[in-house]
A = this chain, B = another copy of it.
Amino acid sequence: MNLCDQHVAVIGLGLMGGAFALGLRQLEPASIMATDCNKEVLEKALEEKIIDYGAQTPEEIARMLFQSHLIILCLYPSDAIDFVKTYGRYFQENAILTDIVGVKEPIIRDIKEALPPTVDFIPGHPMAGSEKEGFLGATEDIFVGRNYVLTPLPENKKENLNFIKTLIKRLGFVNIVESTPEEHDRKIAFTSQLCHVIAAALVDADEDLKITDFEGGSFGDLTRIAMINAPMWTELFLMNKKALLAEIDKFEESLQAIKGHIAQDNAEALIETLKDVRDKRVVMEIQRMNKTRTPFPTK
């Protein structure tokens, strides 16, 4: 299976869909088609020759899907499910579908149910993003040096899985991790959703907008991701509620322990905790360097 023979459809030309289309353009598939609820975005993408065809009406979307070998679903979680429910029956026989939704377990069943049995759905989660929103913020650079989590299903065809993996690497991702949907959701609750909750709470905690005069980098680093896409992250938080609440609890316990040491003037316990934390974070950085040959990414 060669990408140059494949017609690809990108569903949703937001920040991520836009980045996929831009990245795919370099790889020269047979064609890149797309749909988006925003007509102007489709027109701009066509004008800039990022896509070859923009589907607007339901009929155009159905026709596009019927022609597509690979469909990349780049919508908000609930919209992704709705799209497949509405258009699943138009998917080409033996097409490959992949998605980018940040929770896996709650959406896989719904999507599978709405698909014809011959469509091979390979769920995925590119660990990339930006505080920018929408197509105008999209650049394929956000993929470079990043992790990509795949949660393959038992029925996935090996050749299709390999095809997706090759594509991901060619788009700039360097570390492909395979996991179960459950493991993905548990770990993402910690590495991603909890971090966004913390960043939001931190920005929320102080009223003084001029506090940045007293800023040395820490506050900026911890709150960049507080420039959040509110509706999308609300969906992600609520769809992964159980795992996320468990991770918030664990974080609160660690915070309470450090707070207790401070309240009790326990210098010894504080030094020990902070040393352990430093050592652990250094090991994590090395671990990451070995996998991706890049340090933790910074925007």
Residues of A within 8 A of B (CB): 126-129, 146-147, 149, 175, 177, 179, 184, 187-188, 190-192, 194-206, 208-228, 230-231, 233-235, 237-238, 241, 244-245, 247-248, 250-255, 257-259, 262-263, 265, 267, 270-278, 280-285, 287-288, 291, 295-299
Are A254 and B222 closer than 8 Å at their CB atoms? Answer: no
A-B contact pairs, 13 of them (CB 8 A): A127-B216, A129-B216, A147-B216, A179-B214, A191-B214, A194-B205, A195-B221, A221-B298, A223-B281, A227-B285, A245-B259, A248-B255, A252-B252
Are A221 and B222 closer than 8 Å at their CB atoms? Answer: yes
Residue of B nearest to A207 (CB): B280
Are B275 and A262 closer than 8 Å at their CB atoms? Answer: no
Question: When chains A and B are docked, how far (Å) is the Cα of A201 from the Cα of B177?
Answer: 26
Looking at the complex, which one of B128, B190, B276 makes contact with A205 (CB distance below 8 Å)? B190
Residues of B within 8 A of A208 (CB): 187
Residue of B nearest to A263 (CB): B245
Question: When chains A and B are docked, how far (Å) is the Cα of A206 from the Cα of B249?
Answer: 11
Question: When chains A and B are docked, how far (Å) is the Cα of A100 from the Cα of B284?
Answer: 31
Given A188-B214, A211-B190, A216-B127, residue A205 in contact with residue B251 (CB < 8 A): yes
Are B216 and A187 closer than 8 Å at their CB atoms? Answer: no
Are B284 and A211 closer than 8 Å at their CB atoms? Answer: yes
Are A200 and B287 closer than 8 Å at their CB atoms? Answer: no
Residues of B within 8 A of A288 (CB): 212, 215, 220
Residues of B within 8 A of A192 (CB): 214, 216, 218-219
Residues of B within 8 A of A226 (CB): 277-278, 281
Tell me how far the C-beta of A70 lies from the nearest C-beta in chain B, rounded to whole angstroms.
Answer: 23
Residues of B within 8 A of A212 (CB): 147, 191, 284-285, 287-288, 291, 296
Residues of B within 8 A of A259 (CB): 197, 245, 248
Looking at the complex, which one of B205, B235, B247, B277 makes contact with A200 (CB distance below 8 Å)? B277
Residue in A213, A227, A257 with the greatest tally of chain B CB atoms within 10 Å: A213
Are B251 and A202 closer than 8 Å at their CB atoms? Answer: yes
Residues of B within 8 A of A213 (CB): 147, 149, 175, 177, 187, 291
Looking at the complex, which one of B197, B221, B255, B287 makes contact with A210 (CB distance below 8 Å)? B287
Are B234 and A267 closer than 8 Å at their CB atoms? Answer: yes
Given A146-B216, A291-B213, residue A274 in contact with residue B241 (CB < 8 A): no
Residues of B within 8 A of A219 (CB): 190-192, 195, 296
Looking at the complex, which one of B177, B198, B205, B275 makes contact with A222 (CB distance below 8 Å)? B198
Tell me how far the C-beta of A28 lies from the nearest C-beta in chain B, rounded to whole angstroms.
Answer: 27
Residue in A128, A215, A227, A288 with the greatest tally of chain B CB atoms within 10 Å: A215
